[in-house]
A and B are shown apart, each in its own frame.
Chain A
Amino acid sequence: MLIAIRQALILLMLAVAAAWGTHAWHPRAPALYLVQEPLRDDEVSMQAIQERWKGDVLWIDARIQEQFDAGHVPGALLLNEQKFDEQLFGHLDTLQANAKPVIIYCSAAKCEASRHVLERLKQTLPVENVFVLKGGWQAWKATGK
């Protein structure tokens, strides 16, 4: 019995040592605890939108038409990379009259469409206070609105 326990303990220690070693030397070892990724310069979080502007912002949806039609932030303008000029043309009056911060979102954390739309928008028109929503549409939905 004692031998079996001793062997089990040795195995356990070996497993722990192997796991520690793998984590210590693996080039892409995952974090042992979850940390919040810092915001990039052009990003805002849902929390910041509420705190800084009480949610009173102009939303731009950078996803494709089908995703926009399936659900979007109320009042959001559709402006994506695929039909950028054509859609921007339709929003000129709104953007000219707008004084609110502009928040652009796409599908989720990994999509880059909102950042590309932000860059093109700033290259095309003198729009100020434009940000990307961190986490995109998933982050907005997670707030339970």
Chain B
Amino acid sequence: MPAFRLILLALASSAIAHAELTLGVPAIELKPKPEDEEVETTFKFRNKGDKTVKILGLESACSCLSSELDKAEYQPGEEGTGRASFKVSTFVGRHEKFVTVSTDDPKQPEWQINFILDVPAVVDIKPKTLQWFIGDEAKPKACQVQFTGAEPMKIVKITATRENVSFDWKELKEGREYLVTVTPKTTQDITMGALKIETNSAIAKYRHQLAFFSISRKPEAQAANP
């Protein structure tokens, strides 16, 4: 009977034992500078469970975010270190991304590491797209271009990809705010185009900005209730 009790005890303890990978914070914050192309960070986590856990794989929800852990196995109570790298490119604003870690523990088969990416805006174009519907009056519409970075900027040139529109721009606040006005010649044809806005930014990736315009069919719901 002692063997029986021992097996019973082993069964009971194996049913209760589990791994528990946890971060000390709800999410890891990454704050790149406007000129950064890529930002890296390291983070600490711990296996708070009472069972060794094996890492089976990592999968990122965004191809812009890659992550790796320093080991393939973590003992109970052991602290681990992870490294994450985020390709900033033209991301702007606050983005929530996550990496899913697969483990061999049936009680924690997946562990999600959350990241918050906060990329400061340097150029803000509102609205990003100027839209007309087929048959609309061909009246001008405007977008506001704001330079919100540390250094002021100027628009030096604008070109349109379609000949069906004319445009002009004026400076509202020196080096900070412009109004770009676009007027279609007709609204007879479906059109998707862009304005290439060139600036004198010291940071190469902000020298070329895009705003879009379109002429499209009125959606059915709106066409029925104009």
Which residues of B have CB within 8 Å of A88? Answer: 194, 210, 212
Residue pair A89, B210 in contact (C-beta under 8 Å) = yes
Partner of B194, one of A15, A63, A89: A89
Residue pair B192, A82 in contact (C-beta under 8 Å) = no
Q: Kindly provide the distance from the CB of B14 to the nearest chain A CB, expressed in whole angstroms.
A: 9
Interface residues of B in 57-81 (CB under 8 A from A): 59-64
Q: How many residues of A contact B (CB 8 A)?
A: 37
In this assembly, does B199 line the interface, its C-beta being within 8 Å of a C-beta of chain A?
A: no
Q: Kindly provide the distance from the CB of B143 to the nearest chain A CB, expressed in whole angstroms.
A: 12
Residue pair B64, A11 in contact (C-beta under 8 Å) = no
Distance between Cα atoms of A84 and B91 in the complex (Å): 9
In this assembly, does B52 line the interface, its C-beta being within 8 Å of a C-beta of chain A?
A: no
Given the known interface contacts A11-B11, A63-B63, A82-B64, the answer about A110 and B129 at a Cβ–Cβ threshold of 8 Å is: no
Interface string of A94-119 (1 = CB under 8 A from B): 01100000000011101111001000
Residue pair A112, B128 in contact (C-beta under 8 Å) = no
In this assembly, does B135 line the interface, its C-beta being within 8 Å of a C-beta of chain A?
A: no
In this assembly, does A22 line the interface, its C-beta being within 8 Å of a C-beta of chain B?
A: yes
In this assembly, does B191 line the interface, its C-beta being within 8 Å of a C-beta of chain A?
A: yes
Distance between Cα atoms of A55 and B24 in the complex (Å): 47
Residue pair B61, A111 in contact (C-beta under 8 Å) = yes
Residue pair A110, B11 in contact (C-beta under 8 Å) = no
Interface residues of A in 9-51 (CB under 8 A from B): 11, 14-15, 18, 22, 26, 28, 30
Which residues of A have CB within 8 Å of B61? Answer: 110-113
Which residues of B have CB within 8 Å of A30? Answer: 106, 109
In this assembly, does A141 line the interface, its C-beta being within 8 Å of a C-beta of chain B?
A: no
In this assembly, does B186 line the interface, its C-beta being within 8 Å of a C-beta of chain A?
A: no
In this assembly, does A85 line the interface, its C-beta being within 8 Å of a C-beta of chain B?
A: yes
Residue pair A84, B15 in contact (C-beta under 8 Å) = no
Residue pair B59, A11 in contact (C-beta under 8 Å) = no
Q: Kindly provide the distance from the CB of B95 to the nearest chain A CB, expressed in whole angstroms.
A: 8
Given the known interface contacts A85-B210, A96-B191, the answer about A123 and B216 at a Cβ–Cβ threshold of 8 Å is: no
Q: Kindly provide the distance from the CB of B56 to the nearest chain A CB, expressed in whole angstroms.
A: 14
Partner of B8, one of A11, A26, A28, A124: A11
Which residues of A have CB within 8 Å of B216? Answer: 126
Distance between Cα atoms of A112 and B59 in the complex (Å): 11
Residue pair B210, A113 in contact (C-beta under 8 Å) = no
In this assembly, does A73 line the interface, its C-beta being within 8 Å of a C-beta of chain B?
A: no
Q: Kindly provide the distance from the CB of A96 to the nearest chain B CB, expressed in whole angstroms.
A: 4
Which residues of A have CB within 8 Å of B11? Answer: 11, 14-15, 18
Instruction: Name the residue of chain B whose CB is nearest to the CB of A21.
Output: B15
Give 20 new A-B contacts, CB below 8 A, not counting A111-B62, A125-B129. Answer: A7-B4, A11-B7, A14-B11, A15-B11, A18-B12, A18-B15, A30-B109, A62-B63, A82-B91, A83-B89, A88-B194, A96-B191, A108-B59, A110-B61, A110-B100, A124-B128, A124-B212, A125-B212, A125-B214, A126-B216
